[in-house]
């Protein structure tokens, strides 16, 4: 095979282009060959061949319907779903519909029909994620929301505890929940002499000088009916201890010590 024949055969083999030419005849809304200007815009991307393309725009004149433009291929580019946005305005002032083009790497010219694609989805591309700190003010909004307390439980009436967190109301399923978060059998106790009393109950909990949390067998109702005694001395609710549902939490200064005797009286 002589050299000239080899050259002729090589000329018949298509080569991958560094950029792709789009050639077509463009018509306006009246069906006439268009005259005007098209603005083509694109974001920054890296082609499948590794070429970095900076984001930008370009104006492309259309004369007597002739479109001839060379663009970098976007198919296989990073990030994915990169398209060219094309907006045309004809000389008579009529705008054309906005178009979106996805361009393959081709050694041969393509038509507009060969690159035209549907409008891209609004928002982040599929598979991408956005960090909380990338959304202005989101972290502050989340920090200000009520959080679940340790006593939160599904299928319970919601109660806001002393720390402002979301808790679940204590009691059995048939109890009624009051405004202060306490509960008791519906129709009993709460406001007057009606209801039941507990006298000299020993709150459950280890008295070892370290534990400051103890539990009652029922939820006091009303809330203020609880009387707690340590070695016969009455302690003050809100000053020496706090109550959440059936849980008594002592402050450090009056934390029960080994040998102490705790008793509780209350209505429910």
- pLDDT, one tens digit per residue, over 81-140 is 899 999 999 988 888 889 999 999 988 999 999 999 998 766 555 445 556 765 677 788
Alpha carbons 42 and 119: distance in angstroms, whole number: 14
Check pLDDT > 50 for residue 192: no
Kindly state the average pLDDT of the residues 23-45: 92
Is pLDDT larger for residue 111 or for residue 17? 111
Q: Note whether 131 and 149 are within 8 A (CB).
A: no
3-state SS class at 169 = coil
- Residue 264 CB partners (closer than 8 Å, separation 6+): 198, 200, 201, 202, 203, 216, 226, 227, 228, 229, 248
Phi/psi at 99 (5° precision): -125, 160
3-state SS class at 140 = helix
Name the percent of the chain lying above pLDDT 70: 85
- Residue 230 CB partners (closer than 8 Å, separation 6+): 254, 256, 260, 261, 262
- Which domains, ranges and CATH numbers included, belong to the chain? 15-117 (2.60.40.2190), 158-267 (no CATH)
Place of tokens 């009652």: 216
Alpha carbons 244 and 238: distance in angstroms, whole number: 11
For the stretch 124-149, pLDDT in tens is: 554 455 567 656 777 888 777 778 88
**107-116, 121-130, 153-162, 237-246, range with the lowest pLDDT:** 121-130
Kindly state the average pLDDT of the residues 157-173: 82
Q: What is the pLDDT of residue 228?
A: 95
Place of tokens 């002589």: 2
Q: What is the pLDDT of residue 121?
A: 66
Alpha carbons 268 and 240: distance in angstroms, whole number: 22
**84-93, 136-145, 189-198, 236-245, range with the lowest pLDDT:** 189-198
Alpha carbons 225 and 195: distance in angstroms, whole number: 12
């Amino acid at each position: 095979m002589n050299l000239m024949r080899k050259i002729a055969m090589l000329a018949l083999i298509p080569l991958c282009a560094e950029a792709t030419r789009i050639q077509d005849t463009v018509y306006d809304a009246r069906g006439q060959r268009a005259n005007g200007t098209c603005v083509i815009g694109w974001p920054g991307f890296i082609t499948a061949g590794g070429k970095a393309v900076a984001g930008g725009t370009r104006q492309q004149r259309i004369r007597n319907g002739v479109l001839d433009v060379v663009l970098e291929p976007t198919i296989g580019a990073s990030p994915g779903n990169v398209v060219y946005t094309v907006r045309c305005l004809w000389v008579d002032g009529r705008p054309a519909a906005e178009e979106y083009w996805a361009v393959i790497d081709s050694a041969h010219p393509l038509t507009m029909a060969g690159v035209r694609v549907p409008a891209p989805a609004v928002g982040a591309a599929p598979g991408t994620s956005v960090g909380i700190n990338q959304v202005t003010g989101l972290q502050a909004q989340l920090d200000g929301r009520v959080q679940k307390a340790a006593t939160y439980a599904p299928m319970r009436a919601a109660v806001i505890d002393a720390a402002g967190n979301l808790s679940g109301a204590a009691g059995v399923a048939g109890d009624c929940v009051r405004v202060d978060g306490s509960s008791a059998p519906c129709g009993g106790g709460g406001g007057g002499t009606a209801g039941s009393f507990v006298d000299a109950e020993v709150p459950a909990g280890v008295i070892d000088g370290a534990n400051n949390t103890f539990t009652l067998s029922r939820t006091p109702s009303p809330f203020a009916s609880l009387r707690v005694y340590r070695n016969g001395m009455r302690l003050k609710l809100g000053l020496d201890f706090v109550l959440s549902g059936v849980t008594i939490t002592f402050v450090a200064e009056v934390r029960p010590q080994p040998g102490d005797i705790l008793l509780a009286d209350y209505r429910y």
